[in-house]
Structure 1
Amino acid sequence: MPFETQPASDPLGRAAAPEPGSVADVVRTWNARADLYLELFRHELDGKPFDRELLAAFAARLGTRARVVDAGCGPCGHVAAFLAEHGLDVLGVDLSPRCIELARLEQPGIRFEVTDQRAVAPAVNDGPLDGLVSYYSLHDQPKREIPDTLAAWAAAIRPGGRLLVVAKEGAGDGVIDDPLGTGVRVYWAEYSEAELRSAAEVAGFVVDELTARDAYDDEIRARRIALSATRR
């Protein structure tokens, strides 16, 4: 399907749509589809053994009570809850107020805040983070912004702390019809292993492991890339 990179013009002179991939655009698109996403994915980890092992290994490397942010936690809060079950002190952040509202209802024992994932440091008041997880949170922003995003994460994580990024593999970078079928036009960025590795290393991380898996039967047809790294 075709990718677009510019907001559509309005011949009637109404307020222009937010710039694709901007903060306002992410809020707009996720507020619109948060409820459906929760319905579809609240139990997704139950059927994804690779993902559970990945997240459990991340938690084990950090140890009990390590302070971690789930960046772009979405409405389910399921990744944050999984990490908390494995002993971590987790804060879930998301730009969408509707996502945070639903996540708080879904996971009442976890902390969630409306925060830009690129501004996690101000949301955390007790010193540098021990780690950060980005579970499919990079596809909402243009790929040109990934260096700044990873640099912000590096600034928020202590030396020796850990980063886990999971993203869909591909070359797409633009606006498409929502793959969930909501009818909403959404920004969609995909990444290669080389792009993720380069961005992480430039930001100040040492890449420890870079793995990939094929899509499960009920997933969008794209391989999943998982990058595990340590803050220099």
Structure 2
Amino acid sequence: MPDEPPPAPEPGSAADVIRTWDARADHYLRLFRHELDGKPFDLAALHAFAGRVTEGGTVYDAGCGPCGHVTELLAARGLDVLGIDLSPRCVALAREEKPGCRFAVMDQREIAGARLDGLVSYYSLHDQPKRELPAALAAWAAALRPGGQLLIVAKEGTGDHVIDDPLGSGLRVYWAEFTQDELRAAAGAAAFRVDDCTVREAYEDEIPTRRIHLAATRA
């Protein structure tokens, strides 16, 4: 008998994130290579985050994806930035796109000993079930020094399931959305002080879902 293919990983698991992102990284790079050029609100939020971190401070761009554009922006502001992602393909593409920046294959929930001054999660929470949110925030809190800065950007909503990739990769992907209350509560439970939580409407070329920008300080 021919060998049976290995079972598919559990939807939303780390193995599933790797599988789906390795498969769609090139597609997303084509879509989002110049993403920040058309998002003034996001640019302002990232620059504000950089301004709250001491120059030369150590920062992780958690879930950097294939573009590396957030990592590059923060490095240009004088921060010591490492872009991290579970997907080897995302990291390989980011290194090609931004050869002057640093990237590593790493699980953003396994960074407790990092001793960071800041962490950005730019749409990195959507690939795993919402029940994983407290563990993710706790890991980030353990990695940040007291006074360390956190910026979360997430899509607003109540979705928490597998769907057809809304950006047309042809894959079935895990898709989690969040409310302001959920993000505030998880941040507070993880010893963060929420400094600002702002919602913006989607831009014309985006999925028609509002975006939450949450800025917080490690207490």
TMscore range, shorter length: over 0.9
Picking from 160, 164, 189, the partner of 1:202 is 189
Matches within 5 A, 1:20-99: 20-99=11-90
Pair 1:164-2:175 in alignment: no
**Alignment partner, residue 213 of structure 1:** 200
Aligned residues: CA RMSD? 1.1
Give CA-to-partner distance per residue, 1:183-229, whole Å, 9 cap, x none: 10000000000000000000110000000100000000100000000
Picking from 176, 188, 192, the partner of 2:175 is 188
**Alignment partner, residue 143 of structure 1:** 130
Pair 1:104-2:91 in alignment: no
- 2:186 alignment partner AA: A
- 1:158 alignment partner AA: R
1:15 positional shift: 2.5
1:13 positional shift: 6.0
Picking from 89, 110, 123, the partner of 1:119 is 110
**How many residue pairs get matched?**
217
Matches of 1:103 and 1:14, distance apart in 2: 30
Q: Which runs of 5+ in 2 are unaligned?
A: none
Give CA-to-partner distance per residue, 1:156-179, whole Å, 9 cap, x none: 000001100000000000100001
Matches of 1:212 and 1:82, distance apart in 2: 22
- 1:36 alignment partner AA: H
- 2:153 alignment partner AA: V
Pair 1:175-2:168 in alignment: no
- 2:50 alignment partner AA: A
Q: Would you identify which runs of 4 or more consecutive aligned residues in structure 1 move more than 3 Å? A: none
Q: Which runs of 5+ in 1 are unaligned?
A: 1-11
Matches of 1:216 and 1:63, distance apart in 2: 31
Matches of 1:20 and 1:221, distance apart in 2: 24
Partner-residue secondary structure (3-state), 1:119: coil
**Alignment partner, residue 222 of structure 1:** 209
- 2:202 alignment partner AA: A
1:14 positional shift: 3.9
Matches of 1:209 and 1:151, distance apart in 2: 19
Partner-residue secondary structure (3-state), 1:108: coil
Matches of 1:17 and 1:213, distance apart in 2: 36
**Alignment partner, residue 5 of structure 1:** none
- 2:121 alignment partner AA: S
1:155 positional shift: 0.1
**Alignment partner, residue 6 of structure 1:** none
Partner-residue secondary structure (3-state), 2:111: helix
Matches of 2:160 and 2:174, distance apart in 1: 8
Give CA-to-partner distance per residue, 1:117-161, whole Å, 9 cap, x none: 111245x4xxx1001000000000100010001000000000001
